[in-house]
């Protein structure tokens, strides 16, 4: 396949699959719980998460590149995966993405689904009802999708 749009699509799908697996299955509970902490504990946990995530993307992407005989270069792969990894690390430190959400007027959405939101979910007796769907998660994942698209574009075109 030499059509750049087709290469972009195949690379994006592979990166998306790798992202979903790496962010939800490969990331350890310890990494998830500590990657936003201040200091070296948080930085190292986030770094280990991003390393595992990036390796997962490579494990998914390489067979796609080989089986479909996609014409991508090493430079594009390094740049694309590097941009994706850096953007993922930046967002997963959490305070950075929260500051961006605040500057964009999305602070209330960021707290959606948590006790901090004015319309947080409650049980029948009025206590907080935990939920998997939060505004923070939605903003986090949409940020990652943006950068997966950028990475796929870089990989397909460099």
Give SS3 for 122: strand
Confirm if 93 and 46 have CB atoms less than 8 A apart.
yes
Model confidence, pTM: 0.87
pLDDT single digits (tens) 137-148:
888 899 999 999
Give me the pLDDT at residue 98, please.
Answer: 87
> What is the Cα–Cα distance from 37 to 31, expressed in whole angstroms?
10
pLDDT single digits (tens) 35-51:
999 999 999 999 999 99
């Amino acid at each position: 396949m030499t059509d750049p749009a087709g290469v972009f699509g195949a690379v994006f799908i592979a990166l998306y699959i790798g992202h979903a697996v790496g962010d939800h299955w490969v990331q350890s509970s310890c990494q998830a719980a500590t990657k936003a902490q201040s200091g070296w504990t948080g930085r190292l946990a986030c770094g280990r998460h991003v390393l595992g995530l990036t390796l997962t993307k490579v494990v998914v992407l390489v067979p796609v590149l080989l089986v479909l005989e996609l014409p991508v270069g090493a430079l594009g792969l390094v740049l694309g995966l590097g941009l994706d990894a850096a953007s993922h690390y930046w967002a997963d430190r959490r305070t950075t993405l929260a500051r961006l959400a605040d500057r964009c007027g999305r602070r209330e959405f960021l707290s959606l689904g948590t006790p901090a939101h004015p319309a947080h979910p409650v049980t029948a007796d009025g206590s907080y009802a935990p939920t998997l769907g939060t505004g923070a998660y939605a903003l986090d994942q949409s940020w990652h999708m943006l950068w997966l698209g950028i990475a796929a574009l870089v990989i397909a075109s460099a």
